[in-house]
Amino acid sequence: KNEVEQSPQNLTAQEGEFITINCSYSVGISALHWLQQHPGGGIVSLFMLSSGKKKHGRLIATINIQEKHSSLHITASHPRDSAVYICAVLSDSGGSQGNLIFGKGTKLSVKP
Amino acid sequence: DTGVSQDPRHKITKRGQNVTFRCDPISEHNRLYWYRQTLGQGPEFLTYFQNEAQLEKSRLLSDRFSAERPKGSFSTLEIQRTEQGDSAMYLCASSSTIGQGLNTEAFFGQGTRLTVV
């Protein structure tokens, strides 16, 4: 079992739809990152959070430390949101302390 | 400072050759990470540095792989005797620890795409 699991793996939505991507993790963490990766490889950090909720424009990220779960929401989705969204946790336990552990990503395609 | 930069962006090499990649992190960042990503997969951790100290290496990092960060600034990742299975995107990221070891956001370079033929 992977230490960071994302769902769904692939997501197709119509423009304007509300989108949710989920991330569950099994290790102790000090922070969780949501990242966006476009074709061509460039990765952009969207959020880093360790508790509660953060909002930036149409993007909202929440985390529940007790349940070891985070969600990324996109409101009023747009075709330019099409990308791979990756959850990564900053481990604070044992031999992986300080290491970023990545999920496999969720490929989002928003159709006009 | 324009962010994390990696060089080269693309590298094609013949099997058995050695290759070296460079990463220049954001200047005030003390942590530097190397990751490898193959098509359709999330990035896989290879190694990371805090300042010049290499704190952790993945089991994925065979003895053909070596990384350095001699002055705690830029880092190099060398792959010796490349194999076709080494073909991947190699990503570098940097972040900073502040206060009680809390980490700031990680910023990623554009990656170096390696193709071994």
Could you give the CA distance from residue B44 to residue B35 in angstroms, rounded to a whole number? 5
Per-residue pLDDT in tens (0 to 9) along chain A, 112 residues: 678 999 999 999 999 999 999 999 998 888 899 999 887 767 888 988 989 999 999 999 999 999 999 999 999 999 999 999 999 998 876 555 567 788 989 999 999 9
Cis, peptide link before residue A112, omega less than 30° from 0: no
Beta-carbon contacts of residue B10 (< 8 Å; ≥ 6 apart): B112, B113, B115
Cis, peptide link before residue A8, omega less than 30° from 0: yes
Q: For chain A, say whether B3 makes contact (Cβ under 8 Å).
A: no
- Summarize pLDDT for B14-70 with one digit per residue, the tens: 999 999 999 999 988 888 999 999 887 788 889 989 899 998 888 777 899 999 999
Residue of A22, A20, A7, A25 whose CA lies nearest to A66: A25
B110: chain A residues, CB-CB within 8 Å: 40-42
B11's enclosing H/E stretch is: strand B10-13
The most confident of the ranges A94-98, B82-86, B107-111 is: B82-86
**pLDDT for res B44:** 87
Residue type, B15: R
pLDDT average, residue stretch B59-87:
92
**pLDDT for res A68:** 95
CB B67 within 8 A of CB B80: no
Do the Cβ atoms of B89 and A98 come within 8 Å?
Answer: no
Residue of B90, B73, B94, B116 whose CA lies nearest to B8: B90
**Closest-CA distance of chain A to residue B2, Å:** 14
Q: Could you give the C-alpha distances from B115 to A27, B17, B83, in angstroms and in order?
A: 33, 12, 10
